Amino acid sequence: MYVGRFAPSPTGPLHAGSLVAALASWLDARAHGGRWLVRIEDVDTPRCVPGADTLILQQLSACCLYPDEPPLWQSNRGGLYQQALDQLIAQDLAYSCSCSRKDIEATHTARGVLRVRGRELPYPGTCRPENNPTHRPDGRPARAWRFHTARAALRMPATAGACALENGIIKWHDRRLGAQQQNVESAVGDFILKRADGLWAYQLAVVVDDAAQSITHVVRGEDLADNTPRQILLQHALGVPTPAYLHTPLVLAKDGEKLSKQNGAEALDLTDPLRTLAQAAKHLNLRPPEDEDSLPDALARWVREWVEAGMGRLG
Ligand code: GLU
């Protein structure tokens, strides 16, 4: 049974870019005769804007994109994330880390590794248990938890469903982008599962919830595509299935950057929801609505088109 989801972070209202992801995930679920869920990803509380969750749900309703179950809020689900972290600790796949950002930079500088602007360097592994056998919590109260990507990759089977592991490289298939690959250890390093300030990291929360909600198909914006190998590695470590992935084309701002709440994307104009949805549909290479179309008519037409195009040939 197909189960899809739309998982917005309530850092502001939906904008033209997030509506594309919402519409694509809804259409894909409907085209498969599946269920469509909405999950509010509010773990990064400092970035959340009070009331944005309610606003997002209202915007989805105004567009007739109704979830098949009441939405979930990740902020209520810390117990589940803790269970997953405990499991990873028990498997020696998570370790505590007391490095500050400065410590990490100093290690890179000492090794002569230069930071490329706008790109975070992989964690140098300072607190990995094998690098630091006598390592004990050093009295600094706040400690983060990191995922041991090298060990996790060693334990991942060479072929696992639609994914494969070859020389530490995870190979996976995206329904639009085709064959993808990444060596998680060298590209991103041992990423954070729980932050030193106690907040849960997106990677852990998304994997736990996709599994807990039995999500079979993830449809989301292309900016998240390079998170997928991290999530696949975590899924294997936790023994949960890997969904199928489809990453949708991004809506770019005038400066060519991805349209985002951060670069001032305007909130959706929902005085005429059909017109606004038609723009999102156009971005997905779907035809404009007919003159007489109501909003539900147009949505039904796009579902048919999505099926005919082989579940979205997004160009
Ligand atoms: N909450 C994430 C975002 O709004 C999306 C996560 C996902 O779809 O996996 O960017």
Which DSSP letter does residue 141 get?
A: S
Confidence of residue 223 (pLDDT cuts 50, 70, 90): very high
Q: Are residues 56 and 82 in the same domain?
A: no
Entry field: residues in the chain: 315
Average pLDDT score over residue span 61-90: 97
Residues 244 and 119 in one domain: yes
Nearest CA to ligand 1 atom 6: 7
**Residue the block writes with tokens 């334990």:** 155
Which ligand 1 atom is the nearest neighbour of the CA of 206?
Answer: 9
Residue 190 Cα to ligand 1 midpoint, Å, equals 20
Q: 306 and 225, same structural domain?
A: no
pTM of the model: 0.93
Cβ of residue 9 lying under 6 Å from some atom of ligand 1: yes
Q: Which pLDDT tens digit goes with each residue over 242-280?
A: 999 999 999 888 777 777 666 667 778 889 999 999 999
Ligand 1 contacts CB of residue 10 (under 6 A): no
Q: Indicate if the pLDDT at residue 86 is higher than 90.
A: yes
| Residue 224 beta carbon below 6 angstroms from any ligand 1 atom | yes
Task: Tell me what the mean pLDDT of segment 216-223 comes to.
Answer: 97
pLDDT of residue 106: 83
Share of the chain above pLDDT 90, in %: 76
Band of residue 313 on the pLDDT scale cut at 50, 70, 90: low
Evaluate whether residue 226 is within a structural domain. yes
Strand segments, DSSP code E, in 30-157 are: 35-40, 72-73, 94-97, 144-147
Claim to verify: residue 2 and residue 85 sit in the same structural domain: no
26 and 54 assigned to the same domain: yes
Range of the domain at 104: 77-156+185-250
Q: Within this chain, do residues 59 and 204 fall inside the same structural domain, yes or no?
A: no
Q: Confidence class of residue 138 from pLDDT cuts 50, 70 and 90?
A: low
Cβ count near 132 (within 10 Å): 13
Looking at every residue in the chain, the average pLDDT score rounds to 91
Which helix (DSSP H) or strand (DSSP E) does residue 163 occupy? strand 163-166
User: Looking at the structure, do residues 127 and 200 belong to the same domain, yes or no?
Assistant: yes
User: Angle at the Cα of 6 (from 277 to 224), degrees rounded to 5?
Assistant: 100
Residue 107 and residue 64 in one domain? no
Total domains, the chain: 2
What separation in Å is there between the alpha carbon of 8 and the centre of ligand 1?
5
Report whether residue 25 contacts ligand 1, using a CB cutoff of 6 Å.
no
Rounded average pLDDT over 64-74: 98
User: 207 pLDDT exceeds 70?
Assistant: yes
Domain CATH for 288: 3.40.50.620
Question: What is the 256 CA–ligand 1 centroid distance (Å)?
Answer: 21
Beta bridge partners of 6: 38
138 & 213 share domain: yes
Examine the domain organization and report whether 46 and 83 are in the same domain: no
3-state secondary structure of 142: coil
Q: Is the CB of 220 under 6 A from ligand 1?
A: yes
**Ligand 1 contacts CB of residue 250 (under 6 A):** no
